[in-house]
Chains A and B, each alone.
Chain A
């Protein structure tokens, strides 16, 4: 047996050597930059290389950006970063890396990808709450609510990236139809337009353009109805916005949800709703592109967001903000950096994260690349170059997006506006509370399956009263009451501390 093992090893070594020798991959950039720089670095500190994992997809020209950024960090902190952009494989890879205890320094973490609470409960991240005192610039770079949101059981295990954290959806209205109907942005922005307020407009669009009304999408039902969800729409648990007693309810059993369904039924009876488009994302995309949607409510309103959405769908679209935005825990922890518990130099990592939160040079470079190579500054706006090889579109995954120069087409004061929205937003009564599903995992699976199969009630096609009754009975059988009791206990414990 030993002989065989030895043979396998020997052969493999030979082979791998042969394969390597066949053609050494040419490094994409000159590797000498690092050596050049070491001469003028702060000599009193040890040089460290940090390993950062991010969810961005791999960029063809990324090495150039990393080298340039490392030059800067090396001069400033005597630190270099080894970046890993994992893109769509991020969730799978981080799962293995974290579970196997592999050494790394920092990684992207959130409530929707590489789940923050799960990782914290596995001890994957360091508690940095005591260390933060040494980084006042980092702490003060964002509102205190951000740090509250990242707090779990009294410890802070991640550094939030500052971005729009106050959420409200918007009605997506094609500008062409809006103008034809005679609406201006004053008529629709922030007016809290309900489904039935859209009736005349939807009828007009259907008659003239054959465009269907789509209504609120599943990701924003709760916002439309004025609730805050504890764990996504499939979780069904919600607390009414502004309810200071924080009573947990079954969202699908609330009068507001029922009203929404009934209103949709009115639209449906007039023949304005296409239920397939309402439930199928791909279909919605197709219909949007071809202008067959009069309006849909979804997304997160952002100043300058019109540009992104119009680009995505290829037609000019106006985003009509629905109501006053609400700042919630999940909106903040949607993008953070966790520092690994296997990290040897957490103080050096925090230094780098402080740079991404306060230093526009570093932040802009990792967000958009090198000026003149990947983008140009035109009249104070950032113009991306086509096919530059560095355009991941995920500036929010790295740090404080307010540091970046606004993109061409955005309002000049986009970050001022965004910061205003963050500052003026209602703050959730549950700020800082993070719901843990671990006690009721079986029930949660039942409930989320039930929700998924009954979502079609929101198209108005089915008889609302009967379907909702059946829906909620199924949720009860699935154990929604156990979940509510468990969530309520967690919230009471949170509030009582």
Chain B
């Protein structure tokens, strides 16, 4: 290795190290704040290492352990079921669209593109879901509305198109039906694309709180993000009502800052663990849609 490349490597190392630090420092800060007591935060401000080790933020969140566990359960079920359903639906649609001999290809593409740019607005959506589909307070409302995403379909279609049509043709000659081609030939060849879309879907379901906020009243169907969101806004709401209404609310100690950070850890933790498993495919998947030899 010559001098120049060593130097180059060092420069690259410094730049990348700096970028890494930019990503990691906030996470360390969040961890540190989540383990601090709100007293020390108020009096002394933030620090990279907690000045006093305190679990009060976590204690506040896990005060109601049963409900948090239930929320985890709801999140896990919706994430797993939603990702599976989403993958099947999106890839089926993409498969159909990738076939050159499908007659309504362009019509279906237009139909799928419309919701990418336009949406119905909140109130009609709410009325449609609650009154016509009767999905309020159901598992389905946590899964269905975001299961089919045009953007993922287009990504998958592009990938499927790169698989030589000859493969499908030879399968037809061997007597395979459309479904068998889809299931036995196209899907196994598209693992990187599926992993990417699966990752997106999983993140989307794991992080969803807005639809639960709109459609879920039943405490047993509240997912983790919504549960945490409620914990946080409840505290903010208490403070706000003190300020705005002139009403006094009897509240004891409220760990607000450390609780918020503890919440980040609780919410992001499982995803941080899952992510490395996807990574192998994820890098490959990023080039989905790119030119291939």
- Chain A residues within CB distance 8 Å of chain B: 1, 4, 8, 11-13, 15-16, 18-20, 22-23, 25, 55, 57-58, 60, 84, 87-90, 92-93, 96, 99-102, 110, 112-113, 163, 167, 219, 281, 285-286, 289-290, 299-300, 302, 305, 307-309, 311-312, 314, 331, 334-335, 387, 393-394, 396, 407
Contact = CB atoms under 8 A, between A and B. Distances in A.
A101 B130 CA distance: 11
B279 interface: no
B213 A93 contact: yes
A311 B138 contact: no
A25 B216 CA distance: 15
Contacts of B70: 25
B232 A88 contact: yes
A113 B230 contact: no
B42 A96 contact: no
Contacts of B4: none
Given A16-B143, A110-B245, A163-B247, 9 more contacts: A12-B147, A15-B143, A57-B230, A88-B232, A112-B245, A113-B244, A167-B246, A219-B244, A394-B247
A18 B232 CA distance: 32
B189 to A, nearest CB: 23
A357 to B, nearest CB: 18
A387 B65 CA distance: 13
B77 A396 contact: no
5 contacts: A8-B89, A19-B77, A87-B234, A100-B127, A335-B245
B283 interface: no
Contacts of B78: 19
B246 A299 contact: yes
Interface string B139-165: 110011001100000000000000000
Contacts of B64: 60
A300 B247 contact: yes
Given A57-B234, A285-B42, A290-B42, A8 B251 contact: no
A394 to B, nearest CB: 6
A62 to B, nearest CB: 9
Contacts of A102: 126, 130-131
Interface in B89-146: 89, 93, 108, 111, 122-123, 126-127, 130-131, 138-140, 143-144
Nearest to A169: B246
A89 B233 contact: yes
A426 to B, nearest CB: 17
A393 B219 contact: no
A88 B256 CA distance: 14
Interface stretch (B197-205, B235-243, B263-271, B285-293): B235-243
A302 B131 CA distance: 45
A393 to B, nearest CB: 4
A407 B213 contact: no
A114 B42 CA distance: 32
Contacts of A308: 248-250
Nearest to A331: B246
Contacts of A387: 63
A214 B213 CA distance: 39
A19 B139 contact: yes
Nearest to A25: B220
Given A101-B127, A281-B243, A299-B248, A92 B219 contact: no
A314 to B, nearest CB: 8
B248 A16 contact: no
Nearest to B93: A4
A387 B63 CA distance: 9
Contacts of B42: 285-286, 289-290
Nearest to A287: B42
Nearest to A112: B244
Nearest to A9: B144
Interface residues of B, number: 58
Nearest to B220: A25
B88 interface: yes
Contacts of B247: 163, 300, 334-335, 394, 396
A443 B213 CA distance: 33
B43 interface: yes
B90 to A, nearest CB: 11
A314 B85 CA distance: 52
A231 B130 CA distance: 35
Contacts of A60: 63-64, 67
Nearest to A281: B243
Contacts of A1: 108, 111
- B108, B241, B247 interface centre (most CB from chain A within 10 Å): B247
A286 B93 CA distance: 56
Contacts of B81: 15, 18-19
Given A25-B220, A89-B230, A96 B123 contact: yes
Nearest to B218: A25
B52 interface: no
Given A311-B250, A311-B251, A12 B140 contact: yes
A13 B64 CA distance: 31
Given A219-B246, A281-B243, A407-B250, A96 B89 contact: no
B214 interface: yes
A113 B241 contact: yes
Nearest to B129: A100
A18 B147 CA distance: 17
B119 to A, nearest CB: 15
Contacts of A8: 89, 144, 147-148
B169 interface: no
B246 A57 contact: no
Nearest to B70: A25
B213 A92 contact: yes
A143 to B, nearest CB: 18
A331 B247 CA distance: 9
Kindly list the 8 A-B residue pairs having the minimum CB-CB distance in the complex, ordered from nearest.
Answer: A88-B233, A25-B220, A57-B234, A88-B237, A300-B246, A286-B42, A87-B234, A16-B140
Contacts of B178: none
A4 B89 CA distance: 9
Contacts of A299: 242, 246, 248
Given A12-B140, A60-B64, A393 B123 contact: no
B73 A23 contact: yes
A487 B253 CA distance: 42
Contact of B230 (A84, A88, A96, A307): A88
B248 A12 contact: no
